[in-house]
Amino acid sequence: MKSIRILMVDDHPVVRAGLRGMLASQEDFLVLDEASDGASAVALAETLRPDVVLLDLRMPQTGGLWAIPKLLALKVPPQILVLTTFDTDAEVFRAIEAGAIGYLLKDSPRDSLFSAIRAAAAGKPALAPAIAAKLMGRVRQAGGKALTLREIEVLQQVSRGSSNREIAKTLRISQATVKSHLIHIFEKLGVSDRTAAVTSALEKGIFSLGNG
């Protein structure tokens, strides 16, 4: 069984120790190292190349929101699973918009955490129920046909000027899948090109720029 390589990022040593103990109970998890802020996380991730980064948001000096785009810009970008105590709309949306594949609260059951890590490692969104409800409320602003979370992730990458190849690499999906998502996005938003899709999404409040 191939291990899921994990980097833990949290400024509280007790939290990191507790997480390490929980993760050690799973044969398919391998904790590579720990970091206490965003800058340390980026430096370690560049060297260690984890599959998943468990990332807290609020940390001294360089927090999780600062680190997400930096982590995704690495040569071998990890999947990012936010693990925090905060579920305010602003933080949830900013983390997802920045590129986090999942958002979990620290009071989540152990099994939910384990499942979320495995889902993230496989490139699948992993969201706490309360977070999923918040996102669905926002997604429905797209109109009669709601964009899926993955479609929003693709559109966010488009808004940053990424090519289909770059999007595929960042989201760990094939270029054919990216094209399929774009077709569905165009249909749902009633547009015919990438620029119009981004403009429509911004107007509808599906996501916003400048939150990375």
Q: Is the pLDDT of residue 211 over 50?
A: no
Number of structural domains in the chain = 2
- Do 128 and 149 reside in the same domain of the chain? no
Average confidence (pLDDT) over 82-89? 79
- Do 104 and 121 reside in the same domain of the chain? yes
- Do 37 and 102 reside in the same domain of the chain? yes
Point out the domain boundary residue: 84, 111, 138. 138
Point out the domain boundary residue: 82, 115, 138. 138
- Do 149 and 77 reside in the same domain of the chain? no
First to last CA, the chain: 35
- Do 149 and 179 reside in the same domain of the chain? yes
Q: Is the pTM of this model over 0.85?
A: no
Cα 206 to Cα 15: distance, rounded to the nearest angstrom: 33
Cα 186 to Cα 62: distance, rounded to the nearest angstrom: 37
φ, ψ dihedrals at 205, nearest 5° = 75, 20
Q: In CATH, what number is assigned to the domain containing residue 183?
A: 1.10.10.10
In this structure, is residue 160 part of a structural domain?
A: yes
- Do 99 and 187 reside in the same domain of the chain? no
121-176 per-position pLDDT tens digit: 998 888 877 777 666 665 555 455 677 878 888 998 999 889 999 999 988 899 99
Q: In CATH, what number is assigned to the domain containing residue 102?
A: 3.40.50.2300
26-56 CB burial, b ≥16 within 10 A, e <16? beebebbbbbbbbbbbbebbeeeebbbbbbb
- Do 35 and 110 reside in the same domain of the chain? yes
Looking at the DSSP assignment, which residues form a beta bridge with residue 199? none
Nearest of 195, 186, 190 to residue 161 by alpha carbon: 195
φ, ψ dihedrals at 71, nearest 5° = -65, -40
Which residue segment(s) compose the domain that 68 sits in? 4-138
Cα 66 to Cα 83: distance, rounded to the nearest angstrom: 15
